[in-house]
Structure formats: structure tokens, C-alpha cells
Amino acid sequence: MGFELTEQIERHLISDQVAWLTTVTSTGRPTPRPVWFVWDGSAITVYSVNGGAKLRHIAVNDSVSLNFNSTPGGGDVVVISGHARIVRDAPPPSRFPGLLDKYMPAVEAMGRPASWFDENYRTAIHITAERAWTIP
């Protein structure tokens, strides 16, 4: 079964501020990390902290999953699995469409300027969804 973009999945991709990106270490250990992300209508982009372990993991194994927070009672579950690729020549986060619109309030709340985001999160990760698992 391929990836089908449902209303539930799209709502999470557009509205959620944080998702859990799980990469796989070179020894096969799944490693989840909270990430900021942007959905452009066809792919998910995450910017990684410079030298982040997730970059090393993806270089060895490009299989990933993206898990969204559920309701406190365990409903509204969305898990997307797919493949990631590192995009080293991507624009800096401040010039990536939609990223600052979504996250600048959080960056400012941390007392940081947009340049901090650009300096510390230079490498983009492009995630192509291949399938999804949901619980309403």
C-alpha cells in the first residue's frame, strides 16, 4: 500500500509544531528525535542541527518514520514512514518557504534571532512519505 494523504494526515502535517523523526543507527537501533518540519504539499523538510546524529544515520540508512503526537487517550495517531535524503545545498532555514512563518515565534521565545537558526541548523533533510498508519 502506498502513501495516501488523508484529511487527518494533512491536518497533522500542516498544524503540528513538533513531530518525532526516527532514524536508524548503523547498528540498527531506532533513534527518535523531536523535530521542527515543513510540509510543502508533496514532501516533508526538516533542518538538522549541524553535525547531528540523524545526518550520520541517514547517510547509512535512509529509512525513517515521522510520528505525530496523539490525543491523551491514544486517538488521532499518525505515523508516516518513508525515505530521507540529505540536501546540503538547500537554502538556509530563514529562506526556506514557510519555515520561519511557522517557527519564528518559537525562535524568538528562545531569545534568538533568525540568524541563529541559519547558523546552527544548516542541513536540510527531505523526507518522501511512502506509507502511513493511522488511528482515528
Domain harbouring 41, CATH code: 2.30.110.10
Partnered with residue 123 across adjacent β-strands are 48
1 assigned to some structural domain = no
48 assigned to some structural domain = yes
99 assigned to some structural domain = yes
Name the domain count of the chain: 1
Instruction: Using alpha carbons, select from 121, 136, 134, 108 the residue that is nearest to residue 38.
Output: 121
Give how far Cα 114 sits from Cα of 52, 74, 95, 120, 125, Å.
20, 35, 10, 10, 19
Show the DSSP H helices in 5-98 as ranges: 7-15, 53-60
Q: How do residues 66-105 score in pLDDT, each as one tens digit? A: 999 999 999 999 999 999 999 989 999 999 999 999 999 9
The predicted model gives 114-127 an average pLDDT of 94
What range does the domain containing 84 cover? 7-135
Question: Does pTM surpass 0.85?
Answer: yes
